[in-house]
Chain A
């Protein structure tokens, strides 16, 4: 298994609170991605990183920000959580852009 750890694995929080999810990898891979998975939509890309301090937006980036200060850690922040951000969040990594992405086991986030 790819060395990917997502934390927390589960979180329940209230609307309007800030939330930060962490993805930690031990593979020294350059590329890291955040996806969300919702019924009827599949997995959708939120943000991605192609190196330390290099990030860009994906398909559904509104309301999310990311940071990558070290190769091994990629943080996803919901500045002011809304109920529409209730979802399962997955982190993925790849060594090069054309290598396949490998996924962590996700964070289940509920916003009440």
Chain B
């Protein structure tokens, strides 16, 4: 079983819909949580970065972390065709050894249709 589980999709929604993307994890040591967006043939682009539990909002994006359930979510409001991409969750326990080692989900492919 993988440390981080993420539904690969694809997820198809109409323009303007609210999108919910989720990841579950098994390692209780994780305390940093990230969401990245990746367009085809490009590198992951950081969307949200949170520490510990709680909510964080940035424009149309809201990230939620529930450490008691080992569950994180990303909500996208008023979705646009330009949001069509693969969304990756990532998490880490912080500084271990010499660096901050991220563990990624496999990504959820999202398509927002006109």
Contacts and interface: CB of A to CB of B under 8 A. Distances in A.
Nearest to B90: A43
B99 A40 contact: no
Interface of chain B: mostly helix, strand, loop or mixed: strand
A56 B32 CA distance: 21
Nearest to A1: B45
Interface range, A side: 20 to 34
Interface of chain A: mostly helix, strand, loop or mixed: strand
Interface residues of B, number: 27
Interface in B26-48: 32, 34, 36, 41-46
A102 B97 CA distance: 20
B1 to A, nearest CB: 14
Interface of B: 4, 6, 32, 34, 36, 41-46, 49, 51, 88, 90, 94-95, 97-102, 104-107
